[in-house]
Structure 1
Amino acid sequence: MTDEHESALVDEAMKKASVAWVGVADGPSHALWCVPLENALFVVTGPGEQSAPGLAEADEARVTLRGDHGGRIVTWPARVTRVTPGTEEWDTLAPLVGAKRLNARGSTADLVARWAADGCALVRLAPGGEPVHGAELPAGSLAEPPRPSPATRATRKPFRLHRVRGR
């Protein structure tokens, strides 16, 4: 693939993205809802929003986008920049991202105000290098074991159609 084709692939995949898998440093990737704007993906993370450990402070991340079929389309390195509340950039971009937020309580203006007050991070993920493709992709599964969680699930007793008598 030429650089032009790779750039077009990343651009087209970003335009259709609503979820991106984002990893910081050597950490695991997290599925995050995102909004494509201005040739970048925007993600909100912080209190009351999605968890993306280390993303708000990072300079670089890796982004994986998948297609409708569930398979990976492209993985690319991203330059990470944080949009600061109170700036003109925040006033322009935060309402656009907030309008796309599903299941948000209140109006978009209330949501954006809460993001600023609670210290949430609005992060821009812009392409920052050559996408990973072909021979560079791992041949095996990228499945990871489940992460530790305090959540438990009660074990159900087996279903029996009738009472079994001992002999």
Structure 2
Amino acid sequence: MDGTTATADDFLDRALLEEAVKKSGLLWVRAADGASAQPLWHAWYDGAVVLVGDGGEQPLHGLRGDGTAVVTVRSKDKWGRLVAFVAEVSVLEPGSEAWTGAVEELKAKRLNAPDTDTITERWAAECRVLRLLPTGGLTERPGAMPTDSHAAQPLPSPVTTRQPIPAGLPKLVLGRLRRKG
């Protein structure tokens, strides 16, 4: 996908990646620094994923304009992981041709915006628009999925799982209800 010698598998992987990203409403994006993956809404524009965040929009924790990120795309119908890839992250400058095109795509995907008429100006003033350009091949795809669950470990907590209710409690509660009724 990076312009070197391409095979038929590379073209099929690229087609799968584009189709999966275009159909998915959310992507799971993890910054390369090891932060937790976060769900982000997005659009596909000019061969890359584009995101808008910070300000009054979705938080972009750990995503910087000079790094990489791991992007996982879920299947729209089964909701399981479908493909994953590494992407080069860059910030689009407000007012540039790339920024304007990306924002037009993102505006069409933004649901329930409080300021539909002035959203472009607000994004230019308060938010960052990021471009995630796929680099290399797919790290996960059908037929080549990892066996681990990718589930996050629960945070330590003093809270415990609820214990079974005491045997006498239903009689106590029902007895009070009968007396009142």
What is the aligned partner in structure 2 of residue 22 from structure 1? 29
Q: Is the 8 A contact 2:69 2:86 kept in 1?
A: yes
State whether structure 2 residue 79 is matched by structure 1 residue 70. yes
Displacement of 1:91 in angstroms is 2.6
What is the aligned partner in structure 1 of residue 100 from structure 2? 91
Displacement of 1:15 in angstroms is 2.1
What is the aligned partner in structure 2 of residue 163 from structure 1? 176
What is the aligned partner in structure 1 of residue 137 from structure 2? 130
Cα separation, partners in 2 of 1:86 and 1:72, compared to 1, 3 Å? same
Q: Which runs of 5+ in 2 are unaligned?
A: 1-7, 157-168
Give 1 or 2 for the bigger CA radius of gyration: 2
Q: Is the 8 A contact 1:17 1:35 kept in 2?
A: no
What is the aligned partner in structure 1 of residue 68 from structure 2? 60
More helix by share: 2
1:70-125 C-alpha deviation (Å, 9 max, x unpaired): 11110001121211112232233213312320110122x4111111111x111111
What is the aligned partner in structure 2 of residue 105 from structure 1? 114
What is the aligned partner in structure 2 of residue 80 from structure 1? 89
Residue identity in the other structure for 1:80: V
In 2: Cα distance, 1:139 partner to 1:162 partner: 53
TM-score normalised to structure 2 length: 0.74
Tell me the percent identity: 36
Cα separation, partners in 2 of 1:161 and 1:36, compared to 1, 3 Å? farther
User: How many residue pairs get matched?
Assistant: 153
Secondary structure of the 2:70 match is: strand
State whether structure 2 residue 152 is matched by structure 1 residue 139. no
Q: Which runs of 5+ in 1 are unaligned?
A: 149-157
Alpha carbon RMSD of aligned pairs, Å? 2.5
Residue identity in the other structure for 2:133: A
Residue identity in the other structure for 1:9: L
Q: Is the 8 A contact 1:56 1:121 kept in 2?
A: no
